[in-house]
Amino acid sequence: MTRITAVETPKENPFLNCKLAREPYAKVLTDIVRTNSDGFVLAIDNKWGAGKTTFISMWKQHLENEEFQTLYFNAWENDFENNPFIALTAELKVLLKSESSDTFKEILKKGSKIAQATIPSIIKSVVKKYAGEDAAEIMESYSQGVLEAFKEDIDSYIDRKQTMSDFRNELQNYIEENSNGKPIVFIIDELDRCRPNYAVAILENVKHLFSVKGIVFVLSIDKEQLGHAICGAYGSDKIDANEYLRRFIDVEYSLPEPEIEEYIIHLIDLCGLNSFFNLGKRKHDVLARDTKMFIEYAKFIFELKNLTLRQQEKILSHTGVVLRSFLENAFIIPELLVYLVYLKLFYNNLYTQIRRRELTHQQLIDKCAEVLKGDLVKNNRYYFRINIEAMLLTCYNEYLDYEEKIKVNDNEPLNIKSYFDTSEDQSTFKNCIKQELNNYQRSRTPIDYLLKKIDLVEPLKDFDRL
């Protein structure tokens, strides 16, 4: 079964296996870090599934090759820990490996007082600023157990405030003693996937406790999702999440999207589709057409629906498994195959209706038009959709009684209307259906032929042994 594995990161050349040409962006970010050694917070902001974690892994190794010390902290994997201060300090200990030093002992001594509780006074002030007095009082009540420790008397508050300052001073001294003159790069990944309270607590810790000279924090985030977490943490949608995040983030950076066709070709190789398309027993002309059509129609769907890299990978990963149920010289209808896999993964209700043959011809076209709506003018995309509609109708048509079957006559209007209402487009739609009906293989290929393979109910084959 096809499985996407993590891209290997060779130590000597970390971007050797990068198919998205992202090494230049790593060099840009490295220069930013190098020229801002006093420390700052950098956010790499891209949607989920954009390949941030893979890039971070490669960039981390690149930084180490440039003699930077780095830390990697997966916030999502560590949000079982209620107090992120402990987890962040532990990462620092692992990196610097000098627990026995007097300076580190002072860090632990100061930190132990801070670790006894979170910093509710800071959280309360933020809530009050962004959501008003009522929300702040709700938050105070919610955190009552923690706040009690700060209400004993003013002296306790002053002592704790001084402890936070002392901790930062000791931390900065320790970094100066153990670094090589370059800032330590502390990467925090998957922050937007954490529990809202934990995500906010990490941000507060980074800002108020670990913000010292010599540490550059890198937050790998989906800013929109992190904004939702911030609102959730404070129980109010009145908070301006963007304004809130500006308090923590000094520099924002987004990885440019790769060229989509290059990424599809990369995924075809990564997902094992080449094992099918490149079989020697397949005729060269069929191979060339199948490969070309598969790439073109995958590109059409991915661009039209603005799918993330992870969503594209999911579709082609499933398709790689599906192709293992075909014979080496099988008829696969690649244009329709990639569309049906997309429906199964993202429009499963419609996919099920097709499989159960619950739709009339017109309903099928209408629902297809709804799924494939978008900017169809760009690059003449509407021709791709008309072709998908025609192929889908032809294969679906195989199951209907003779009286219900599509009949295309030159002098009679087609009783199925395409989404496009101009006479020219209707004529194109009619001609496409006519062409498909005249295609011996397609017109006699029931849609179940593809659906059973997509549903993985047929035995799979090992291409390497054919």
92 lies in the same domain as 222: yes
Residue 84 is classified by DSSP as H
280 lies in the same domain as 228: no
188 lies in the same domain as 301: no
Number of H helices, E strands in the chain: 22, 5
- Give the number of C-alpha atoms closer than 13 A to the C-alpha of residue 67, restricted to the C-beta side: 4
Say yes or no to pLDDT of 183 above 70: yes
Instruction: For Cα atoms 415, 417, 419, give the angle at the middle one, nearest 5 degrees.
Output: 175
pLDDT tier at 60 (50, 70, 90 boundaries)? very high
317 lies in the same domain as 208: no
pLDDT tier at 119 (50, 70, 90 boundaries)? very low
Report the pLDDT value the prediction gives residue 408, as an integer from 0 to 100: 62
Q: Pick from 200, 224, 253: which residue ends a domain?
A: 253
Contact 435, 380 (CB under 8 A): no
Total domain count for the chain?
A: 2
- Lookup: tokens for 15: 């971007």
Encode pLDDT of 417-437 as tens digits.
666 656 666 677 777 877 777
248 lies in the same domain as 267: no
Say yes or no to pLDDT of 58 above 80: yes
Q: What is d(CA 14, CA 18) in angstroms, rounded to the nearest whole number? A: 8
363 lies in the same domain as 423: yes
244 lies in the same domain as 319: no
Q: What is d(CA 291, CA 277) in angstroms, rounded to the nearest whole number? A: 7
Residue 108 is classified by DSSP as H
Using the structure block, give the residue that is written with the tokens 């195959």: 337
Encode pLDDT of 83-113 as tens digits.
777 777 777 766 655 555 565 566 665 556 5
Nearest by Cα to 7 from 17, 272, 320, 260: 17
**Residue 10 within a domain:** no
pLDDT tier at 11 (50, 70, 90 boundaries)? confident
Report the pLDDT value the prediction gives residue 466, as an integer from 0 to 100: 33
Residue 215 is inside which H or E element, if any? strand 215-221
Q: What is the CATH number of the domain that holds 42?
A: 3.40.50.300
Q: What is d(CA 377, CA 362) in angstroms, rounded to the nearest whole number? A: 23
Residue length of the chain: 466
Mean pLDDT of 370-398: 83
Could you list the residue range(s) of the whole structural domain that residue 129 is in? Answer: 23-253
357: left (phi over 0), alpha (psi -120 to 50) or beta: left
**Residue 423 within a domain:** yes
- The residues pairing with 219 across neighbouring beta strands, listed in sequence order, are 43, 188
Encode pLDDT of 238-288 as tens digits.
778 888 888 888 899 999 888 888 888 878 877 767 766 664 444 445 556
Q: Pick from 226, 253, 280: which residue ends a domain?
A: 253
Report the pLDDT value the prediction gives residue 277, as an integer from 0 to 100: 67
- Lookup: tokens for 375: 């900017």
Contacts of 211 (CB under 8 A, 6+ apart): 39, 41, 168
